[in-house]
Structure 1
Amino acid sequence: MNDEDLRGLEPSPTVPLSVVSIPNCGPALPLAAARNLGVAHTGGHPDDLLIFLDVDCLPTPDLIEAYQSAAQAHPRDLLCGPVSYLPDVELDPITPGYAERLTRLCEPHPARPNPAPGEILLAGDHDLFWSLSFAVRREMWEYIGGFDEDFVGYGGEDTDFAWQAREVGIALAWVGSASAFHQYHPVSSPPVEHLDDILTNGRLFAHKWGQWPMQGWLERFEALSLVQRYASGYQAAPITVASVPGSHVYIRHLSNLDNAAPAIIRLPDPPPTRADTPVGAPWWPPAMLDPEWVRDCEADVFHIHFGFDAHSPAQLHAVIDALEVRGIPLVYTVHDLQNPHHEDDVLHSSQLDVLIPRATEVITLTPKAAEEIRRRWNIDAHVIAHPHVAEFETITELGDSSLRRQEEFRLGIHLKSLRANMVGIPLLQAAAGAVTKIPGGILQVNLHHDVFDEAGSRHDSELVHFLLNSDIDLRVHDYFSDRELFEYLAGLDASILPYRFGTHSGWMEACHDFGTRVIAPDVGCYISQGADASYSWRFENGVWAPDARSLDAAVLSVSSEQEDPVAEIVSRRCRQRNEIAAAHAAIYRSALAKSRF
C-alpha cells in the first residue's frame, strides 16, 4: 500500500514471493482491501491455510508449523497467535537462535491471551481478535466473506471480521506456538493521528452491529475533549486555530472541501497594527504575534506560518511564553529555512532557533526540508505538501480557455521587484539562448515598474538597458492581481524560478495548478517540492550565473512534455487538499493531546 520501493521486488530462488501493490490510495490505508487482494492472488484449494502477518511483526521459526498443526486439529476455527512487543533497542541480524534472544526482550500484550508453547486455548473471545497475526483455512475465509472493504484506514475492520466469523458460527482459538514479535516503532496513546479513521470506521461498525467498537480509545478521546458523545454516537470536537496569518491563500486552502461540519475553525486575522499594509498582504504585520493578544484569545491551537520577519528572538520567546501560560500548544510550519528576502540570514536563523525547538508540533512541505530540520535541530517534522493556490473554478475556466498557442513554446521569467534571491541579466542571457533552440520558442520577461521606471524605488538601469536591447517579449506592470497572475501563468508553457537561494515556492504550486511546467534551481528544496526540471548555479569572477548546459537541458526537457488534462489537475488537487486537511487536523489533535496529558 503506497510502497513504491516494493513494487519491483524480485522473488528469490527459495521463496516464491509475489508482490501485489495498491498505489496512490491516500493517507488512510485500505487495510481490509489489501488483505482481500492478497488472498485473491493466491488461488488454490479450500483446504489451503492462509496466514496473515502484519508488516511490523517478525515470525518465530515455529509460527507456520504451529498454525498448520492447529488448523488440522481445529479446521473450522479462526486461529490467532500471541504477539509480544519488543523494546526500543538495536536488534541483531536474524541468525539461528534469534527467537530465544528476542523472547528475553519482549513483553506480551497485557489485554490478549498468551498461551504457552504447545497450548491451544479454544472458545476465545471474538472481541480480542487482532489482525497482527492470524490464520484461517480458505474455506472458512470464504464462509466469513473476507474483510469488509467499506472499512478504510485504522481500526474497526478486524473486529468486524471477527464478529462476522462469530455470526456464521466460526470459533476463535489462540495458538501458543504461533508466536511473533512486534518490532518497536513510536506510537501515540491514544492514537490521535487516527481519530478521523476511528470515528468513520466506528460509525460504520455501529450502523452494522448496533454498537460502537474501540470504546477504550473513544473514552480517552472524550476525556481529552477531542470527541463529543451524542445519542447518535461520537463526533470530532471542533478545534479553534489561530493561524498566523489566517487570510493568506495557503492557510485558506488547508480546510477540507466538505464544509458541512468543519472540525477546524480558524480565527480571522485581527486588524493589523499599521495602516500601510503591503499589496497582497493585508494582514501584515500579524496582530496575533503579541503576548497581549494571546492572553485573551479563544484559540485551542496557535499555528505560525510566516509574518514574523520583524520579530526578534526575544519577542518570539515572549509570545510562546504567553501560549504556555494559557496551555495553548504551538504548531509551526517551516516554509522557509532561508528567508528569500534577505541576503543575510542571521536573523531568520535565530528566529528558527526559537520556533522549531519550542513548537509542540513542527510541519514542513518537503522531505528534503524535513531532513535539514532533523540535521540542524534533531526534530522530526511532519511533511505535508503545499496545497493548490488558485481556486478550482479558476483552474477549470482558464485551463479550458486555450491561452497557450499551439505553434509556440512560451517560457516565462517573472522578476517582480527583484527581491534579494533573484538573479537578472545572467539568467536572462542563458534563458534567451536556451529558448532559441526550441521550435517556436519565445522568452517572456515580466518586471514591475519600481524596477523598470527611472523614478522607481528599485530602479536597475543596467537590467533595463539589457531588456530593451534583447530579443524578448518584455511586459512591465505593477503587482498582479490574482486574476492577472493566473491568466499570465495559464498562458505560459513553462516558468523559470530565478532564485539563487530559498526553500519552497508558492509560485511553483500556482504554475502546477494550470499545467505550467516549472524549471527550478537545484538549491533549497525546490526539486523535492516537485519541480519539473532543474538547473544549477555557478559562481565565477564574483558573479552568480546559471550553468548554461543544465538550463538548456531543462528547457528542452519541459518543452517535450505533454500538458496534463485540466480535469486531471483538478481531481488531483482536490484529493490532495482533503489529504492535507486531514493531516493538519491530526496534528492539531496530537498537539492538544500532548498539552492536556
Structure 2
Amino acid sequence: MTEHVRDVRVLSIPAEHPYTQAIRPPGVSYLPDPDIGGHWWPHPAFEASFWEARPRAWEADLVHIHFGFEHRSPTQIAELADAIDLPMVLTVHDIDNPHLSTAPEQAAHHERLRTLIGAADEVLTLTECAAERLRSDFGAADITVVPHPAITLNPAAARREPVAGVFLKSLRSNVVNEPAFYRAIAEAVALRVFIHRDADPRVVRSLAGELAGKAELIVHDPFDDAALHREVARLTACVLPYTRGTHSGWLEMCRDHGTTVAVPAIGCYAGQADAPGAVEAYAPGDGASAARAVRLLLERGPVAYAGSRAAQFEQVRDAHAQAYARACTKSRGGVRGR
C-alpha cells in the first residue's frame, strides 16, 4: 500500500456507487455525495462555478471523476477542466455511453472525454481493450488498467439450473426491445426472461405473446440485491442484451457467481472475461447469433471465476492508492501548470 495517500480527502464523483466504494484504498477519506432530491446527480462539482467558490465542506485534496457528466455540453466540460484546481484522476468507464442513443450525442460524449483525458493527471480504465481505444482514438498516452472488482464477495448459494437468463429491468434505451430477438434465443435453449413490472406494457404484452410456450417470462418488482444474486446464481448463463456501451458491472456480478455471459460484440464487454469460456460474444441485436453463443455456454456449463476476488480487491485498491499518489506528485510538480 502506498503510504503517501493516507489522510488524503477525495472528492469522488460519484462517491457512494457500489463501484466507487469498492475501490477505496485504506486511509483515504471520501466526501459524501450530495443529496439532490434523493440522488447524487446532477453533481454540483460538474459546474465550473463550483470550483470558483466551493463551500468549506467540499474542501478536498484530489478529485476523482467516474461518470455522470453527460448532461454537460463539451464547452461546459472545457470550462470545468480549466476551473478544477485539484489533482484530478479520471476513470473511463464508458467510451461509448450506453445512455446516449444518437451519433451526435456519442460524438459530444467523445469530445467531453477528450477534454477530461487531456486535463487529468491520471487516467484509469477497466480493460486493455478500452486502453487501446483511448490511446488510438483519444490521444491518451499513459493509461492504467485496473480491472473491475467483484460486485458480490459472498456469492449466493443456489441450485444451478441448465437455463439461460436475461434481465430486461425497465428496458433502458440501450436494451434490445424487439421480442423476436428473445424468441430466437428461446427457440434454441431454455430461457428465462425477467422484466420489471413498470416496463412499457406494450413491450411486456408483446414479449408474452412471442415467448408463450417457448420461455419463462417473469414480470416482477425490482429485486433487492439478495434476491437478484439468488436468481443469477441459479442460471448457467446470462445474456447481456445491449446495443451499445463499453463495460458492465452486471457481467462482473454474473462472474462472481460462476454464471457465464453472452455479450454483444461491441465495446469492451468481451475484454472483461476472467477466463476462456467465461464469455461468448454475439452480433449485436442478432437473435440467431445470440442463440448460438448461449448454446455454447450452456453446453460448457458453469465456469468458476478464475483467480481470487479477495486478492483482486487488494490489487485494485493499491492501484488506486498509487494513482492518487502519482496525481498529487504531478500536480505539485506543476505538470498541469497549476
Residue of structure 2 in register with 1:248 after alignment:
17
Q: Which of 465, 469, 483 is the aligned partner of 2:209?
A: 465
Select the structure with the greater relative contact order (CA < 8 A; seq sep ≥ 6). Answer: 2
Residue of structure 1 in register with 2:187 after alignment:
433
**Residues in 2 aligned to 1:535 and 1:411: alpha-carbon distance in whole angstroms:** 15
CA contact (8 A) 2:62 2:88 kept: yes
1:433 is displaced (CA, Å) by 2.5
CA deviation string 1:242-278 (max 9, x = no partner): 110000000010024xxxxx33211111222xx2x5x
Residue of structure 1 in register with 2:336 after alignment:
none
Letter in 1 for 2:193: V
CA contact (8 A) 2:168 2:193 kept: yes
Letter in 1 for 2:279: A
Q: Which of 506, 510, 529 is the aligned partner of 2:272?
A: 529
Against the structure 1 CA distance between its residues 451 and 466, is the aligned structure 2 distance closer, same or farther, given a 3 Å change threshold? farther
**Residues in 2 aligned to 1:373 and 1:331: alpha-carbon distance in whole angstroms:** 15
Residue of structure 2 in register with 1:417 after alignment:
170
1:483 is displaced (CA, Å) by 2.4
Residue of structure 1 in register with 2:144 after alignment:
382
Q: Which of 513, 538, 548 is the aligned partner of 2:256?
A: 513
Q: Which of 282, 287, 290 is the aligned partner of 2:44?
A: 287
Is the counterpart of residue 583 in structure 1 residue 319 in structure 2? Answer: yes
**Residues in 2 aligned to 1:562 and 1:452: alpha-carbon distance in whole angstroms:** 33
Against the structure 1 CA distance between its residues 305 and 594, is the aligned structure 2 distance closer, same or farther, given a 3 Å change threshold? same
**Residues in 1 aligned to 2:17 and 2:182: alpha-carbon distance in whole angstroms:** 31
Letter in 1 for 2:175: M
CA contact (8 A) 1:452 1:464 kept: no
CA contact (8 A) 2:11 2:64 kept: yes
**Residues in 2 aligned to 1:527 and 1:316: alpha-carbon distance in whole angstroms:** 30
Residue of structure 2 in register with 1:321 after alignment:
82
SS at 1:302 equivalent: strand
SS at 1:251 equivalent: helix
Is the counterpart of residue 309 in structure 1 residue 55 in structure 2? Answer: no
Calculate the aligned-residue CA RMSD, in Å: 2.3
Against the structure 1 CA distance between its residues 307 and 286, is the aligned structure 2 distance closer, same or farther, given a 3 Å change threshold? same
CA contact (8 A) 2:13 2:66 kept: yes
CA contact (8 A) 1:255 1:577 kept: no
Q: Which of 267, 292, 304 is the aligned partner of 2:31?
A: 267
CA contact (8 A) 2:232 2:259 kept: yes
Q: How does 1:387-398 map to 2 (within 5 A)?
A: 387-390=149-152, 392-393=153-154, 395=155, 398=156
CA contact (8 A) 1:271 1:287 kept: no
1:558 is displaced (CA, Å) by 4.3
1:413 is displaced (CA, Å) by 0.8
Residue of structure 2 in register with 1:150 after alignment:
none
CA contact (8 A) 1:238 1:265 kept: yes
1:515 is displaced (CA, Å) by 1.4
**Residues in 1 aligned to 2:230 and 2:204: alpha-carbon distance in whole angstroms:** 27
Residue of structure 2 in register with 1:474 after alignment:
217
Percent identity reads 36
1:500 is displaced (CA, Å) by 2.2
Q: How does 1:33-52 map to 2 (within 5 A)?
A: none
Count of aligned positions: 321
Q: Which of 453, 466, 475 is the aligned partner of 2:201?
A: 453
Letter in 2 for 1:287: P
1:446 is displaced (CA, Å) by 0.5
SS at 1:374 equivalent: helix
In the alignment, structure 2 segments of 5+ residues that lack a partner are 334-338
Against the structure 1 CA distance between its residues 553 and 413, is the aligned structure 2 distance closer, same or farther, given a 3 Å change threshold? closer
